[in-house]
Amino acid sequence: MKKMKLGNELLENEELIIYKQCSNFLIFFKYKTYNMNFDLVKSAFHTYFNLTFPRILRRKQYGPLRFTYVNLINIISNGLNLGKLFTLKSSKPNDRQVLGSSCKKSWKIELGVCNVSLVECPFLGRILTKLRENLISGIIMVSVLEQMKMSTKVVADCVDFKVMKQVGAVDATTNPSILLAASKLDEYKRFLDEGVAYAKKYGSSLSREELRALAMDKIAVLMGKEVLNVVPGRVSTEVDARLAFDKDAQIVKALAVIKLYEEEGITKERVLIKLPSTWEGIQAARVLESKHGVHCNMTLLFNIYQAIACAEANATLISPFVGRIRDWYLKNTDAEDYSRETDPGVQNVRKIYSYYKKYGYKTEVMAASFRNVDEIKGLVGCDLMTISAALLKDLSVDRENIPVILSPEKAKSFEMQKVTLDEPLFRYEMNEDKMATDLLADGIRRFVADARAMEALIDKAL
């Protein structure tokens, strides 16, 4: 249990913020985040106020403000009982707030939609300082994962249902590599069997190649359906990477996958179709989003120009890769390692996020492909992050206090002129970026290799 040393008085502009998350409350003191059980919070408040407050109210000098303080205690007490958010924030009083020479600070109490402004006589600061000391006795540092979830949606980059539940993931992503690995495990073999059985039943007139493709799509959908029984949001399902340079074929495949989901009772609003961020993939997303209402997740994205093209196509979400960019620079430059500030993959996502927010694009940024927790910590505040099971576990036990790095407000100062891309300019900028060109081609090859390995498993079962 980690405790924090406290000063004797609350500092100017310091905040005490408490809000409920799951069964616990998160407590903030001067940019530090702590976690404690609901009952401990209530006990700390009620014990102190029940013992101390009546004596204070009997003091003559506080008589005129007794009702105000009683109201304060009622607000806090009721808020705790209801599990509501409230904030106590100190600030210098203005002339209207000053009721007497003893008033040094005003305290703004925010409880849900109910805001109450109070003016402090000297004892209120002492009450809150003592209260803070009582709270600390039961406080435990919040994990990096819990801190992240305050500003970033956490997405599970796996089909490990147990991990999804444990970390409270809101969405989940899949790809051919994940499906292949899962299909080799006994606990997920039923998806392979069910997908093959479906293809045999409904694909009697299909060629063997078409049967394999149908079975593979069905397996992905069955796993996606299972994921959606665990996460409250969306699942990403990828189209065959061999279609990366065929716009029309990607559209047909995406609609076929959506139809398979609908057969399972899953609406298209809960599905993101993953497409590679080639020019053809981006144009397929434009059609799917505008004409069919199908939401797209643009993957294998490695530079700002791919990101801009995706945003101009109104793609729902992009997945810029972080770790693969780092790997490329370590292999192709003299760099030996990177910090979270110098990591080129982290810098790329920061650039994309800032560009999107500065120019008002609605496309969400979901950072992906992490190699370590430092990369994740360097992107706190990003719209979403999709994280492997292993790194999610690491984040859940890490107790470092981390700041929010990305925000729409910070993005306003980002310096880059707005760019309008057509196909020639897109292809030129990709050609100029050796890293992005190499990694896009390599990523497609990897997904194709895993798709072929998956087909080999299906062939054995057909």
Q: Which residues are catalytic?
A: 274
The answer to whether 182 and 166 have CB atoms below 8 angstroms apart is no
Q: How far apart are CA 118 and CA 74, in angstroms?
A: 13
Calculate the alpha carbon distances from 310 to 12, 276, 421 in Å: 45, 10, 10
Helix pair angle (208-228, 434-461), 10° resolution: 100
> Which residues are CB-contacts of 294 (< 8 A; sequence separation ≥ 6)?
254, 255, 258, 268, 271, 273, 288
Contacts of 217 (CB under 8 A, 6+ apart): 195, 253, 256, 257, 260
Query: Which among 86, 119, 115 is positioned nearest to 102, based on CA atoms?
Result: 119
Cα separation, 189 vs 336, whole angstroms? 41
The residue type found at 438 is D
Residue 143 is classified by DSSP as: P
